[in-house]
Structure 1
Amino acid sequence: MGSPSASKWNLESEWLVPPQQARSRKSMEAVLNAAEELFTSHGYDNTSIADIGARSGVSTGSIYSRFPDKDAILQVIHDSFSKALTDASADAFSPETWRTASAAHIVMAMVDRFFFAYRTYPGILCLIERQRLVNPAVEERARKWNNLSIAKFQALLADHASEMSCADTDRAVTVVHYLLHQTLAMTALFEQEQAAPPFRLDDNRFERDMMEVALRYFGLPDDTTGWRRHPWQRLPGW
């Protein structure tokens, strides 16, 4: 987890009572930092408001004055992470940034972006994957993010149809997106549970294999030998 940062949390989220004073803001950030650490290390169900209060140094009464329940804390954490992802994607996937890139380069970047995310934020992403199965608000927010990510790559590949042999580029982006999402999510969950996944997130050959699969599905030549890892930027505070 990154060091606490004022820019990390969305304190304008609908899921909390926004702080009006600097002291209240600091306390709320301490609660959110403690909750994120506990949710990702011990699990959401195994964490209580009392645990969060003890870790953050904020009384349970003060926590309840800002958050109606533990679920609201989870929603603010996910809301803040999603907002940070959206803000970062606006720059990372701007059309101008990829104007001279080939279709193969864009597809490999799509794969590389997934690996970067799961290697950098495995805790929060595993928390989201677990909670979206049982929490409608988390599922809706995650689905919106996935749709946004798909739309960005569809837009980047829109002018490269002549380079690919697949008949439906938009559908191909959706298929590859969810293939990567499900494969890496399951790998991260297995690693978090200290199980034995067939591949590991830090395995560069695994990433190259997924790039080859994606390139072939799009009908693009295997150009992984010329790939150089993209310099993705970490999310501020995460």
Structure 2
Amino acid sequence: MPSVSTAKSKNDSISGPAEASRVPQQGRSRASYERMLTAAEKLMVKRGNDDFTLTEVAKAGKVSIGSIYLRFDSKDDLIRAVHGRVLAQLDDEQILMMQDIADKAQKLDDFARLFVDSYAELLKRYSAVLRPIMFRAITDESISALGRSYAEKLTQEAERQMLRYADQFGRPDHARLVGNANRMIYYTLARYLGLGSSPEAAHQGNWDELKEDLAIMCAAFLRAGPLTR
């Protein structure tokens, strides 16, 4: 049996999922492990949920049931590992996305347009796998907590960049403004993509028009002064 290391690489050092699995470091064993995760992820995307068996994972990933149980104590642990890998990949892309926006945005309108468009397309690319994961997070605190930690990381960076344009804001409570702007962007995109509790509302309207209007609303909201009484 190949040796199993407890050392954690960048994409494995995720508190819940990494600790729930035994991640191999040797080449062939690592390749087999990745096939397990990929097979489970593809089944989740295909079915829109995690209603699959480990036998199906073994067949799709060309691995044995025994090798799956060598790495995971249960199907739940396998799903958590898939979640951890997906979020690590998403986080890598989010970091690059925010760096690119910071380099390109010269004014508030630039930021709103670039952030909404880039974030929308990123969520769209991952939406098929995020849907079943987010549904499971309702009852799985490990998955829920991990998702919150990654979301908070992006939220903090997005709000930090918005605050670069605080001299253009129309009201003095800047933290409140960027927090609400960020939430409006996420909840609008999530609803369109069916991420969360209302999948039946997905894909209502025109995607490109939604992105354009959302960017305009974001910039206008941040610039708006208080309502007159």
**TM-score w.r.t. structure 1 length?**
0.76
Runs (5+) with no aligned partner, structure 2:
1-9, 225-229
More helix by share: 2
Question: 1:133 corresponds to which residue?
Answer: 138
* Equivalent residue letter for 2:147: A
Question: 2:33 corresponds to which residue?
Answer: 28
Alignment match of 1:179 (pick from 153, 164, 184): 184
Report the RMSD for the aligned CA atoms in angstroms.
Answer: 2.7
Question: 1:123 corresponds to which residue?
Answer: 128
Query: What is the distance in 2 between the residues matched to 1:115 and 1:73?
Result: 28
Alignment match of 1:56 (pick from 61, 74, 78): 61
* Equivalent residue letter for 2:209: R
Question: 1:98 corresponds to which residue?
Answer: 103
Aligned residues: 209
Q: Following TM superposition, by how much is the alpha carbon of 1:37 offset from its aligned partner in structure 2, in angstroms?
A: 0.3
Matched residue of 1:14: which SS? helix
Give yes or no for contact 1:164–1:219 (8 Å, CA) kept in 2.
Answer: yes
Give yes or no for contact 1:166–1:217 (8 Å, CA) kept in 2.
Answer: no
Identity %: 22
Q: 1:141 to 1:166 in 2, by over 3 A?
A: farther
- Alpha-carbon deviations, 1:154-180, whole Å to 9, x = none? 221333211121332322222232223
Query: What is the distance in 2 between the residues matched to 1:116 and 1:96?
Result: 14
Question: 2:11 corresponds to which residue?
Answer: 10
Matched residue of 2:77: which SS? helix
Q: Which moved more, 1:172-181 or 1:69-78?
A: 172-181
Query: What is the distance in 2 between the residues matched to 1:19 and 1:49?
Result: 19
Q: Which has the higher contact order (CA 8 A, sep 6+)?
A: 1
Q: Which moved more, 1:67-76 or 1:86-95?
A: 86-95
- Alpha-carbon deviations, 1:164-201, whole Å to 9, x = none? 213323222222322232232232228xx99564625x
Q: 1:44 to 1:70 in 2, by over 3 A?
A: farther
Question: 1:213 corresponds to which residue?
Answer: 217
Runs (5+) with no aligned partner, structure 1:
1-8, 221-238
Q: 1:125 to 1:177 in 2, by over 3 A?
A: farther
